[in-house]
Amino acid sequence: MTENWAHYQPVEIQAGPKVHAGVGKHVAARKVLLVTTEGLIQRGAVERLLAVLPAAEWRTLSVPPNPELEYLEAQAGPLREEAFEILVAFGGGSAMDSAKALAAALAGGPGWSLARQLAQPPAPLAAALPVCCLPTTVGTGAEVTPFATIWDRKRRKKHSLDAPGLFPKAAFLEPESTLSLPESQLRWGALDAISHALESLWNRRATPVSLAWARESLAVALAAFPQALARPDDLAARAALQQSGLLAGLAISQNRTALAHAVSYPLTAAFGLPHGLAASFTLPALVDLVTENQAWRRPEDAALAARAAELLAGQNLAGRLSAYVTPAEVLDSHAEMFAPGRAENFRLPMTADALKKILEKSLEAVI
């Protein structure tokens, strides 16, 4: 942990049954862009949401998974002309990331470009429209972070829009909204939260606040994850997983992610791995490495991490990964896995050869 640290977390948070109605005070009498997914529209969830909110001028945009740079740029132009005042993200990480990116694009005015904003070095983000997040998944934490992940698969790149102005205005966690999640998405979301928590515990940029959130997130996830998988209708377990994801999101909002996420980006960009799987399959090997080097900050961190590694070992992560990519393809991608702003956050020094050994250890079951 650095000697000097700072903390900024401006998101209003409401959690519990029927809290979605609370977004009403933010959208009343305003022109609203609702960013959601086709699945939520088809299942009637969007209609049910709008029924509990006050009158406002709504426009619904259905976005695809893992928003692409070209897609968001194409949407931004026509949407600018509609003079929206606020965005509501209703869905998973893709809906929330898309809403944040569009909030920046719509505030940027004519001629503003996401591509130019993301160019190196990025220009400061001048402004963004307010965003309210209503997550329908567990684990992403995007409802409380100032980041938006944007993909460019043609160039096998993952971009991150990152600015204090992208912190959502408010987040509303209603566990009932997760009941339609299939087991695979529940699993990937929970693994993403566990990854965020562990990445915070071994993070060079960790603060006392982010460490406290990460420890609690991991403890909650370790108890709730097996319960939620065994009992899909267990609303209390789903609420706990939402809470775990929120706490881990609060942690990474301060310290960002680290090496496991840097490993994940080229695999998702090139091979379409679900993010939770891509960001978690190296975690047991990384836990072993940190333990061997006695690099945990507290003994309880080592104990929590050991429990997490045991849980992850039972998830057949290497086998699940092999449905998307071969071990050779993973190993061949190792040079791309030193993502700036992420890989260097890992507490221990890392080289390309050392990372390759971590990948080999993580893939032992399928090599």
The separation between the first and the last C-alpha atoms of the chain, rounded to the nearest angstrom, is 36
Q: Where does a domain end: 118, 149, 176?
A: 176
User: Residue 100 and residue 94: Cα distance in Å, rounded?
Assistant: 10
Instruction: Establish if 130 belongs to a structural domain.
Output: yes
Tokens of 67: 């928003």
pLDDT above 90 (res 167) = yes
Residue type, 214: A
Q: Is 61 found in the same domain as 97?
A: yes
Task: Return the residue matching tokens 């030193």.
Answer: 338
Domain hosting residue 297, numbered range: 183-362
Provide the pLDDT for residue 119.
Answer: 86
Tokens of 95: 């809906």
**141-169 mean pLDDT:** 92
Instruction: Establish if 4 belongs to a structural domain.
Output: no
Model confidence band, residue 311 (pLDDT cutoffs 50, 70, 90): very high
The total number of structural domains that make up the chain: 2
Q: Is 250 found in the same domain as 227?
A: yes
3-state secondary structure at position 252: helix
Q: Is 155 found in the same domain as 20?
A: yes
User: Residue 21 and residue 30: Cα distance in Å, rounded?
Assistant: 16
Q: What is the CATH number of the domain that holds 343?
A: 1.20.1090.10
Provide the pLDDT for residue 30.
Answer: 93
pLDDT above 80 (res 120) = no
Q: Is 346 found in the same domain as 312?
A: yes
Provide the pLDDT for residue 339.
Answer: 81
Non-local CB neighbours of 360 within 8 Å, separated by 6+ positions: 331, 367
Q: Is 265 found in the same domain as 205?
A: yes
Mean pLDDT estimate for the chain: 94
User: Residue 221 and residue 263: Cα distance in Å, rounded?
Assistant: 22
Q: H helices of the chain, where? A: 24-27, 38-42, 45-51, 69-80, 93-108, 114-118, 183-201, 208-230, 235-255, 259-271, 275-278, 283-292, 299-313, 317-321, 327-332, 352-362
**337-355 mean pLDDT:** 92
Q: Is 191 found in the same domain as 89?
A: no
Q: Is 204 found in the same domain as 126?
A: no
Instruction: Establish if 214 belongs to a structural domain.
Output: yes
Q: Is 348 found in the same domain as 297?
A: yes
Residue type, 294: Q
Q: What is the CATH number of the domain that holds 71?
A: 3.40.50.1970
Burial classification of residue 309, based on how many CB atoms lie within 10 Å of its CB (0-12 exposed, 13-18 middle, 19 or more buried): middle
**Over the stretch 99-118, which tens digit does the pLDDT of each residue have?**
999 999 999 877 889 999 99
Model confidence band, residue 56 (pLDDT cutoffs 50, 70, 90): confident
Provide the pLDDT for residue 366.
Answer: 86
pLDDT above 60 (res 270) = yes
Provide the pLDDT for residue 1.
Answer: 54
Provide the pLDDT for residue 55.
Answer: 73
Instruction: Establish if 52 belongs to a structural domain.
Output: yes
Lowest average pLDDT, out of 53-57, 167-171, 257-261, 300-304, goes to 53-57
**Over the stretch 202-235, which tens digit does the pLDDT of each residue have?**
999 999 999 999 999 999 999 999 999 999 999 9
User: Residue 96 and residue 92: Cα distance in Å, rounded?
Assistant: 6
For the chain, percent of residues with pLDDT exceeding 90: 86
Provide the pLDDT for residue 262.
Answer: 96
Q: Is 161 found in the same domain as 218?
A: no
Provide the pLDDT for residue 130.
Answer: 98
Q: Is 225 found in the same domain as 95?
A: no
pLDDT above 80 (res 361) = yes
Tokens of 41: 């529209």
Provide the pLDDT for residue 54.
Answer: 81
Q: Where does a domain end: 161, 176, 191?
A: 176
Tokens of 123: 């220009």
Q: Where does a domain end: 153, 176, 199?
A: 176
Q: Is 193 found in the same domain as 337?
A: yes
CA distances from 260 to 158, 240, 284, 330, 355 (A): 14, 24, 10, 13, 10
